[in-house]
Amino acid sequence: MVKRSSSLLPVDLVMVASYPILLVMILKKMDIFILLLLLDLQTQLTHFNELVELLVNKSGSQQSQQLLTDAVYMFSTGSNDYAFPYLTNPKKLPFPKEQFSEMVLGNFTAILQAIYNKGGRKFIIFTLPPEGCSPGGRAFNAQIGGKSGECMQELSGLLEMHCNALPKRLTQLQQNFKGFNFTLFDLYKLFTQRIDNPSKYGFNVSIEACCGTGAFKGINSCGGKRQLKEYELCKNVTDYVFFDASHPTEEANQQFAQLLWNGTTDVIAAHNLKSFFQL
């Protein structure tokens, strides 16, 4: 989606670009499963390059370059790269864990470098949420013989491995490319805090979803528009951390958004979003 002023004159050009999709992945092709509504980051980069061309045509090279340099580029992606291969065959990933993580991180940092080459300098990266402890993760863990109610530790471990390796890869980019600036938003920590101690953050339920069916309402049937039509909907959504099998409720999202905007360095560092725009 692109929003801009009606006149598109260089002096008042204002633009926000967003590439939302139901399922997003870093890796372009995974042969072990087929996903509809999939938009990989390489395709999104193609759309971004088209946007850059539009900017140059409408406002000229100098102003478009300044806009690209001043912009903040925000990424929340990667969970599906780990979750879907694991959920397809939990006993065998397509590659050894470390190699698979390196593939995901390598593809991701290549995208960041490509945006840097177009003028991007300020990047906000979200760490990955602990999907193994989501209602969907707990439900799947029970289905494959795990102890009922426990997290799917193998999947959460993969995501944590990614989160632990991410700062080093970003620091390497910062060292290798002049002006590259990044900040990390610790979504893994924020989710874990609310899952482990929901009442501290104003919630009552953290292991069960508000909407869905099956154990922990972890089967994503909410709305009845998938193959499984039956679903349950909670009476008070504000009591819940998770709305469905893996996504947070509006209340949880509002807390995350506030911390993203002006949170302290224990959850977002080296800059929160507010201060990042002021750099």
User: Does the residue 52 lie in any domain?
Assistant: yes
pLDDT of residue 137: 93
The pTM (predicted TM-score) of the whole model is 0.86
Q: CA of 242: how far to CAs of 6, 137, 201, 214, in Å?
A: 39, 12, 13, 15
Cβ atoms of 200 and 207 within 8 Å: the answer is no
Residue 221 lies in a domain: no
**pLDDT of res. 244:** 95
The boundaries of the domain holding residue 134 are 2-190+264-277
Q: Nearest CA to 29 among 84, 71, 97?
A: 84
Q: Average pLDDT of 217-229?
A: 85
Residue 88: per-residue pLDDT: 78
Residue 46 lies in a domain: yes
**In-domain check, residue 247:** no
Q: How far is it, in rounded angstroms, from Cα 274 to Cα 72? A: 11
Residue 211 falls inside a structural domain: no
The count of domains in the chain is 1
pLDDT tens, 34-65?
444 567 788 889 988 998 998 899 889 999 99
Query: How many angstroms separate the CA atoms of 127 and 190, rounded?
Result: 10
In a domain, 255, yes or no: no
Q: What is the pLDDT of residues 165-207, one digit of tens each?
A: 999 999 999 999 999 999 999 999 999 999 999 999 999 999 9
